[in-house]
Amino acid sequence: MANCADSPEPVEDVQGDGRWMSQHQRFINEGKGKEPEVLFIGDSIIQQMQFSKVWNTLMEPLHCLNFGIGGDQTQHVLWRVSNGELDCISPKVIVLLVGTNNHGHTAEQVTDGIMEIVKVLRAKQLTAQIIVMGILPRGEKPNPLRIKNSKVNSQIEAKLRSQENVTYFALEDQVFVNSEELISAADMYDYLHLTPEGYTKLCEPLHEMIEHLLQMFMKVENVSMDNDSGDLASDLQ
């Protein structure tokens, strides 16, 4: 029986080299030495994004940190954000993508796991704008996992409508799925992970949303500063 998708669990070190926990600790240490504007967190789709050209051209200038780990499921990301990865940083925007690796869970369980992560993000980062990315389609041809991911996305989008400071972001399936319901290796080399071309399709609109939220954050900050200045002026009179 798979672990619960909405209960924090570290990855079992079945290979014996401690790599997953080492990555988690590295993320904590990176946060202590940097002040990121944007944090990306999730599975291998997030992890490999930092090695793409579009990351260098669009994301790096935004002062980003990448806390992606290949193979992570919702319960693993939930454990990471509950155990230190958010404690030494105050990003203005947090981008979350996870769920495609939860093979042993139903769509409803995956949805619960993602919503639990959002709950922790909101609790630990009170002022951050959170982007929850829809799970990408997968598999060259139509398959049950693609259907399940689509169902998760529909449920997440509905649940996030009532969440303050949380935005749902997803591309239309047609961006990666053609009229014959096929995914091209030009976009996903193994029909799951993105090629440079695939990352460009994903990251260009995502970058626009991040920039928009950063501008919103700055406006709110400026209003707060203006109000504080007004209060100070009143106190001095």
Cα 30 to Cα 22, 65, 75, 93, 234: the distances in Å are 12, 8, 22, 17, 42
**149 SS3 class:** helix
Contact by Cβ (8 Å): 131, 167: yes
Burial zone of 130 (CB within 10 Å; 0-12 exposed, 13-18 middle, 19+ buried): buried
Q: Residue 112 CA to chain centroid, in angstroms? A: 15
The one-letter amino acid code at 191 reads Y
Given 63, 154, 184, 193, the catalytic residue: 193
At 50, list the tokens.
């930092």
CA distance 10 to 75: 8
CA distance 150 to 144: 10
Given 13, 87, 190, 228, the catalytic residue: 190
Given 24, 43, 44, 105, the catalytic residue: 44
Q: Is 228 labeled as catalytic in the residue annotation? A: no
Burial zone of 50 (CB within 10 Å; 0-12 exposed, 13-18 middle, 19+ buried): middle
Phi, psi of 151 (to 5 degrees): -65, -40
CA distance 98 to 133: 8
Q: Is 234 labeled as catalytic in the residue annotation? A: no
Q: Is 190 labeled as catalytic in the residue annotation? A: yes
Catalytic residues: 44, 190, 193
